[in-house]
Amino acid sequence: SRFHPQPISPMKNFFAGGFGGVCLVFAGHPLDTIKVRLQTQPKPKPGERLLYAGTIDCFKKTLAKEGVKGLYRGMAAPIIGVTPMFAVCFFGFGLGKKLQQRTPDDILTYPQLFAAGMLSGVFTTAIMAPGERIKCLLQIQASSGEVKYAGPMDCVKQLYRQSGIRGIYKGTALTLMRDVPASGMYFTSYEWLKNVLTPAGKSHNELSIPSVLFAGGMAGIFNWAVAIPADVLKSRFQTAPEGKYPNGFRDVLRELVREEGVGSLYKGFNAVMLRAFPANAVSALHVFFGSVTL
């Protein structure tokens, strides 16, 4: 039903979110690489086959061609960004809750939680947009056959030289379109599941480990169910050559739907869902223990 929010503690948010976030990146990055490669693979020419037939095919080909290292390409950017990103995410959520309360004891409704979650998505975009741009470019370069960037710093330098700060932040609008509703969905479903799983008369802090894992994992699935169409457009836009889509995401959407149909907006769906549950379950557990023990 409803719940009592805790007061915001920036340090608690920083450590709890950061540790959970690093675990999430490690657990989820190989499937994230597969997701991005599936989302950005070019349409085959007549008579040719798709580069990757699906999630398992992409996994096998990446492993055969590049080894385990290939699955972890581009991980430096999210590892560097994840601690501030999670801290900002939880701070934004805490602030979003606080702005809707007249007193600290006010109980928030689910629509209010959704609004607070959306605010956290606005906050995280400042960190997510450039991190995603660098990550995606590094993830696809080996599969496209052209190695243009030596690593994340080289990527930043080249993008800055080519287009300035705008080049680094390319895809910010699509990151907002992905993360604002998805964050609202994540926090609302996480709190709802915690409420459902908490026995009568007990607090959230007394939830069992399987319950926390389940709530976090399912919230991750709800988050990505909302996020994936914008994520496909973002991956395509952020990895496209300069000037390919002059009107931004509208051009990407038009081209994708015209050439590959509406179903193409769900490219990488299997990889996303396989990653969403375990990665978010692990992350939620660390955040849960961080917030209970700190």
Residue with tokens 């050439």: 259
**Whether the Cβ atoms of residue 291 and residue 20 lie closer than 8 Å to each other:** no
d(CA 113, CA 100): 9
Mean pLDDT of the 182-210 span: 92
CA distance 245 to 237: 7
Model confidence band, residue 294 (pLDDT cutoffs 50, 70, 90)? very low
Q: What is the pLDDT of residues 37-94, one digit of tens each?
A: 999 998 888 899 999 999 999 999 999 999 999 999 999 999 989 888 888 888 899 9
Average pLDDT of the chain is 89
- Could you report the per-residue pLDDT of 84-96, keeping only the tens digit for each? 888 888 889 999 9
pLDDT tens digits for range 253-265: 999 999 999 999 9
Mean pLDDT of 143-147: 77
How many CA atoms does the CB half-sphere of 232 hold within 13 Å?
A: 27
List 108's β-bridge partners, or say none.
Answer: 3
Residue 8: which pLDDT band, with cuts at 50, 70 and 90?
A: low
